[in-house]
Amino acid sequence: MQTTISSKYQVVIPKPVREHLNLKPKQKLTVIEKDRMLILIPQASLDELRGVATGARIDNYREKKDRPL
């Protein structure tokens, strides 16, 4: 897929990509530039992140002061 940069430097994300990633209007994207590439990462809302760490083990967790330098 391809897209074009407009005269206002806007880019349209192709519909199949928007649908596959479930992107919504006004959703924030993080932009990373690396090795002449642009990487767009959709930011998740707090509601979408709720429960993401359910079941995570917290044993063997070390406090910052206990970590090696």
Would you kindly state where each structural domain of the chain is located, as residue ranges?
A: 14-44
For residue 5, give every residue at least 6 positions away whose Cβ sits within 8 Å of its Cβ, in sequence order, or none: 11
* Cβ atoms within 10 Å, residue 40: 13
Rounded CA gap, 13 and 68, in Å?
A: 44
User: Tens-of-pLDDT digits for all 69 residues of the chain?
Assistant: 999 999 999 999 999 999 999 999 999 999 999 999 999 999 987 877 788 778 888 777 777 777 776
| φ, ψ (nearest 5 deg) of residue 17 | -70, -45
| φ, ψ (nearest 5 deg) of residue 21 | -90, 0
